[in-house]
Amino acid sequence: MQKRGKKNPKTKYLYIYPIKAGFPSPAEEYLETVLDITSLVIQNPNSTFFGRVKGKSMEEEGIKDQDIIVIDKSIKPQNGNIVVCTIDGVFVIKTLKIKGKKIELESSNSKYKTIEIKKENEFEIWGTVTWTIHKVRNVRTRGL
């Protein structure tokens, strides 16, 4: 028997597909077998890690404060990718913009300025964001 509070990373869960966001059709019944969330979000286990977002600069991309993000270091960062990088020792999540030899990091929230990477900056791209995981607002978890 598994102790309460311990997680089994090998657990696979039942899932339903598709779940329509429009008018439901009672004639459609789709119960798939199992969903292994780990293999869904982690394509390259040796180069994948998780992070927790702090701040609101990427909200327009659906990445909110306290979200968990999945970052894959094996994906070559390309123009337009959302990346996690360090600038002068500080981790940030931004959209990568490559304009010739110029690199900029753009927030999706217009309240935040675009960061232009300069020669004097210590800059490293840690990886490309592949997934974001966040809790649905106003979910009651105890009692009704």
Give the confidence band of 1 by pLDDT, cuts at 50, 70, 90: very low
Active-site positions read 57, 94
Task: Indicate if the pLDDT at residue 64 is higher than 60.
Answer: yes
How many domains does one find in the chain? 1
Look up residue 13 and give its two tokens: 């869960």
Q: Which residues form the domain of 80? A: 44-133
Assess if residue 67 is contained within a domain.
yes
Assess if residue 71 is contained within a domain.
yes
Q: 77-108 pLDDT, tens per residue? A: 999 999 999 999 999 999 999 999 999 999 99
Assess if residue 24 is contained within a domain.
no
What's the 3-state SS for the chain? CCCCCCCCCCCCEEEECCCCCCCCCCCCCCEEEEECHHHHHCCCHHHEEEEECCCCCCHHHCCCCCCEEEEECCCCCCCCCEEEEEECCEEEEEEEEEECCEEEEECCCCCCCCEECCCCCCEEEEEEEEEEECCCCCCCCCCC
Look up residue 118 and give its two tokens: 């300069």
Assess if residue 31 is contained within a domain.
no
Q: What is the pLDDT of residue 3?
A: 44
Read off the CATH number of the domain in which 120 is found.
2.10.109.10
Task: Indicate if the pLDDT at residue 14 is higher than 70.
Answer: no
* Beta-bridge partners for 35: 13
Angstrom distance (rounded) from CA 6 to CA 22:
37
